Amino acid sequence: MAQLINGAALSRTVSRRSFLAGTGGILAAATLAACAPGSGGSSGSAGAKTYRLLLPGDVPAQWDRISAAVNSKLKADLGFEFNPEFINWKNYASQSLLKFTAREDFQTALSARWLNIAQLIESGALQPLDDALESDKYPNLKASVDQSAFDANRWPDGSIYGIPAVNSAARIHHIVARGDLIDKHAPGGIETFDQLEKFWYDVVQKEGIPGYVKSNSVFDVLGAPTGTLYAQGWESPDFLPLYFSSDSLMFVPSRQAAATGSTDAVPFWEYEPYLESLHRIRKYYEDGIINADRLNADPATIKAQFDGGGAATCWGITDGLDTSGHLDQLEKAVPGATLVSLLPFRDGLAAKPNQTFQADNLVVVNAAAADAEAALQLLDWVSIQENHDLLQYGEEGTDWKAVGDDAYEPVGEYTNFPGYALSWRIPLERKFSRMSESEASWFEWSKDYENFTLDPFASFIPDLTEIEKEHAQITAAIAEFGNPLWAGAVDVAEGLDKLKKAVDRAGLAKVQEELNKQADAYLASQ
Amino acid sequence: MTTDLGTASENLATADTARRTRDRGSRRTWRGRDYGLVILAAPAVVLLLVFAYGPMAGLVVAFQDFNVADGVFGSPWAGLENFEFFFTSGNAGRIMWNTLFLNVLFLAATLGAGILLALMLNEIRGRVTKRFFQSVIFVPYFVSPIVVSIFLQAFLAGPGGRGGLVNDLLSMFTLPEPSWYTTPGPWPWILTVVKVWQLGGYMSVIFLAAITAIPEEVYEAGVIDGASRAQMALRITTPLLKPTAAILLVLGVGRIFYGDFGTIYAIIGDNGTLFATTDVIDTYVFRALRTFGDFGTTAAIGLFQSVVGFVLVVIATLVQRRYARETSIL
């Protein structure tokens, strides 16, 4: 074999110049290839345009199969395909904003007041939808979203900038509890906040697990109008705090504002029930009722803790996902476990909590999109029951089967499509077939606008323009001194003192004055 | 003997300096045969232009009332307004101090640990054992900050935040069990330990490479003079690592105004109780961008950070030239 090898060829040396030129050429070619258009994108099947959209969260299991099925139908119906980009929740706000800024070519995204819709509207980055909605081009969309939902989500300039993607009239923060533990420690059931509190203490003492687990949230403590740890909210859910943004300072308006026309909003610490709530959280923190890592724990860790049987209750919202979001995992960890949705209103189902009916989720259309009409066609297309079901629950038979007229039973692995960022429509949503009785009852209740009281400041959206710098600094102070208070991690008197000094220095007086001025003007205009 | 060894290392450094001076002095003119070098450098130059110099145009945002729809070229000018937010927040001094203090700690600790580990690895005789330990201490470099933060939570907070392994250990000795995630004082030191764990092995490989370049004759001279291995490590190896340490130091100083965002944010997140000692410019900018969505303000802080970083590099280089000319790289 040795003779077969060409020794002369092997021993031939490559010159330094050839080596450098060759290596450099390869690197240059690789660089050019990397910079070539289309190297980072994806293309649809032959002949069909592909439109991008932004969705929050992780890619659902089996997404490739469902996406192919959706695209096949989309192409046949509308002549184009879609290619959603999933962005992790933790980065969604900043990344979606960056993509708008970079004028990237995507059709739709999720936005809301708690994200950055104010900035996007102010900057003209969103397509106003009034003309489209007044036309007859999108009948399915108009039929599946109540006109009152559109009206409640008009911006102060009178325009509609987003399609409300909600599945109930009002989303009420509440408690998802282990039914098996309630049977054991509160056999008479839980109907009031006092009973709930006693249950938490019993569980901590007798089971050795926390009563309630959640990542940090101001709304847990200072309800709007309810908060899982805010006792007063369950007694009389009759007002909503005012704020420039939900991560900034909360203000409490006068209860007579609507009658007098004078808002007289004061910082939250001047409202006794809120102060009492802060002290209660601190006590819960010290007594081990709530998780001590609220400041650091991410939602996935908290969910895993509850689903693994490591807590008696967790947070829920009336979007019909209490049971479907936890039960399967919980049953694997704790055989025989059950779930109950708790809304311990003093007045039970007769409670009429104040609501703005502003949607938590709005699907907005990118003004820089290549084809805004296609975006609305897609929103109309997902408003058809068959298409909605395919996207939301997967392929019938493979991923789910219908139970009765309005329920579904998952039978495959496809779950967790973020319908709230595209396809949630109240009349089209199906209930989880194993939804607990309590959740079914409260979910139905939350779908009826008549069960709520329209807040006097329902469509008031304050304008930040005059106080941008002060607001930014107050928000920074809340992040530093407010968040530890919501977590119960610091002494209330000491923590509040630091917070007050920081927000005073940041310009509280100016911000408070501006809020009252705008709120008074709003009341006068009603 | 000490004097001899010291002279040997100084002679090496002097020879190196002389060679570099000679190279600088010999002016080379463009010759066609260098085209290979040009092609080889081209991708790196292109990358640098596209990703380092090109984006500098975006710094104009720091002086604009940036508007998403109008973009970089259409937004109105705002003068120095964007700089006001940071400097009037009352946090600027603390954040700059945290950035500098943490980076000095990280730089000193990782350089020190790198040299120490390199010296220790160099003393291991068995090739397999040496490679094994080298790999083991290098592995943390590849561990994601997110994973590090989970480790740390398990050690310091435990499930539900009621005490981790460290507190379990402290309780065995009836020592106080701090609530780590609400006590800001120890965090600069905790983060420094994390950085040493992450980068100690990486640094040691760089120093180990420098050690292998030390001529064997120098050690032979030490052996002839009767130096012990410890003496040779201290009197020969350590002084000859000065140029490498100097280069790493200058590079480190250049980034001293850049907080280690990845590690700090992954571990601290939005935990306001720890901001007093851990909030650095990068985490502050990220939070500002995420919560306010104000690109002008965040770009202004970033620009300030870059300018101060540049000034610090220049100062570090000048100081090095003045006091340690033989190890200066610029």
Structural domains in chain B, CATH included, are 2-11+95-145+186-327 (1.10.3720.10)
Who wins on pLDDT, A332 or B258?
A332
pLDDT for A7: 45
The reported pLDDT for the residue numbered B88 is 80
DSSP A108: E
d(CA A81, CA A74): 6
**What percent of chain B lies above the pLDDT cut of 90?**
35
Q: Which of A346-350, B116-120, B262-266 has the lowest mean pLDDT?
A: B262-266
Q: Is A116 on the interface with B (CB under 8 A)?
A: yes
> In the predicted model, is pLDDT for residue B168 greater than 60?
yes
Q: Say if CB B82 and CB B296 are below 8 A apart.
A: yes
Contact (CB<8Å) A293/B38: no
What is residue A34's predicted lDDT score, i.e. its pLDDT? 53
Helix axes B145-156, B187-212, angle to 10 degrees: 130
Q: Is A173-357+441-454 in the same CATH topology as A49-169+359-431?
A: yes
Closest B-chain CA to A367: B69
- What was the pLDDT predicted at A370? 73
Give contacts of A20 with chain B, Cβ < 8 Å: 36-37, 39-40
A238-252, B180-194, B239-253, B270-284: which range is least confident on average? Answer: B239-253
What is the pLDDT averaged over residues A507-524?
A: 96
Question: How many Å separate Cα B305 from the centre of its chain?
Answer: 16
User: What's residue A497's pLDDT?
Assistant: 97
Q: Which residue has the higher pLDDT, A300 or B133?
A: B133
Q: Does A173-357+441-454 carry CATH code 3.40.190.10?
A: yes
Q: Could you tell me how far CA B159 lies from the centroid of its own chain?
A: 32
Check whether A178 has a pLDDT greater than 90.
Answer: yes
Residues 2-41 of A with CB under 8 A from B: 16-21, 23-25, 27-28, 30-31, 35
Helices vs strands, H then E, count in chain B: 17, 0
C-alpha B283/C-alpha B267 separation (Å) is: 11
The pLDDT score that the predictor gives to residue A194 is 97
Q: What residues of chain B lie within 8 A of the CB of A93, using their CB?
A: 290, 293
pLDDT tens for residues B18-73?
A: 555 455 444 555 565 677 888 888 899 999 999 888 888 888 989 988 877 777 77
| Residues from chain B contacting residue A247 (CB–CB below 8 Å) | 291
Number of separate helices (H) and strands (E) present in chain A: 23, 16
Most confidently modeled of A322-331, A404-413, B85-94?
A: A322-331
Average pLDDT, integer, range B124-128: 88
Comparing alpha-carbon positions, the chain B residue that sits nearest to A122 is: B67
Domain extents in chain A:
49-169+359-431, 173-357+441-454
- The CATH class for the domain spanning A49-169+359-431 reads alpha beta
ipTM of predicted complex: 0.73
- Rounded Cα gap, residues B68 and B57, in angstroms: 16
CA-nearest of B159, B161, B162, B166 to B189 is B166
Contact: A18, B153; criterion CB under 8 Å:
no
Q: Which residue has the higher pLDDT, B119 or A11?
A: B119
CB B312 within 8 A of CB B253: yes
Of residues A497 and B216, more confidently modeled: A497
In one-letter notation, the amino acid at residue A432 is F
- Position A16 scores a pLDDT of 64
Among the listed residues A475, A388, A450, A453, the one whose alpha carbon sits nearest the alpha carbon of residue A423: A388
CB-CB under 8 Å, A292 with B161: yes
Query: Is the Cβ–Cβ distance between B121 and B133 less than 8 Å?
Result: yes
Give the nearest partner residue to B269 out of A94, A296, A311, using CB atoms: A296
Of A35-49, A477-491, B144-158, give the lowest mean pLDDT range: A35-49
In the numeric block, which tokens belong to residue A245?
């943004």
CA distance A431 to A234: 26
pLDDT computed for residue A3 by the predictor: 42
Q: What is the DSSP string of A341-378?
A: EE---TTGGG---EE----S-EEEEBTT-S-HHHHHHH
State residue A36's pLDDT score.
47
Share of chain A above pLDDT 90, in %: 68
Q: Which DSSP letter does residue A81 get? A: E
Name the DSSP class of A390.
Answer: H
Q: How confident is the model at residue B330 (pLDDT cuts 50, 70, 90)?
A: low
d(CA B30, CA A490): 68
Minimal Cα–Cα distance from B205 to chain A, Å? Answer: 27
Tens digit of pLDDT for each residue in A24-70? Answer: 667 666 655 554 444 333 444 556 789 999 999 889 999 999 999 99
What pLDDT band is residue A376 in, cutting at 50, 70 and 90? very high
Query: By CA distance, what is B278's nearest residue in A?
Result: A480
CA dist A131 and A138 (Å) reads 11
The CA-based angle A99-A104-A105, given to 5 degrees, is: 135
Reported as a pLDDT band with limits 50, 70 and 90, residue B329 is low
| Residue that wins the pLDDT comparison between A401 and A469 | A401
* pLDDT(A23) > 60: yes
- Going by the DSSP 8-state scheme, the letter that residue A158 receives in this structure is S
- Residue type at A366? N
* pLDDT at residue B28, rounded to an integer: 53
B42 with A28: Cβ contact below 8 A:
yes
A382-401 residue pLDDT tens:
999 999 999 999 999 999 99
* pLDDT grade for A350, boundaries at 50, 70 and 90: very high
What was the pLDDT predicted at B327? Answer: 58
pLDDT category, A371, cuts 50, 70, 90?
confident
Q: Say yes or no for a CB contact (<8 Å) between B293 and A18.
A: no
**DSSP 8-state secondary structure symbol assigned to residue B180:** G
- Does the structure show a pLDDT above 70 at B5? no
β-strands A108-111, A400-403 pairing? unpaired
Chain B residue with minimum CA distance to A214? B160
The number of CA neighbours under 13 Å toward the Cβ of A198 is: 13
Instruction: Report the distance separating Cα B325 and Cα B330, nearest Å.
Output: 10
Q: Whose CA is closest to A478, among A298, A250, A284? A: A250
Q: Are A210 and A291 in contact (CB under 8 A)?
A: yes
Supply the pLDDT for residue A101: 77
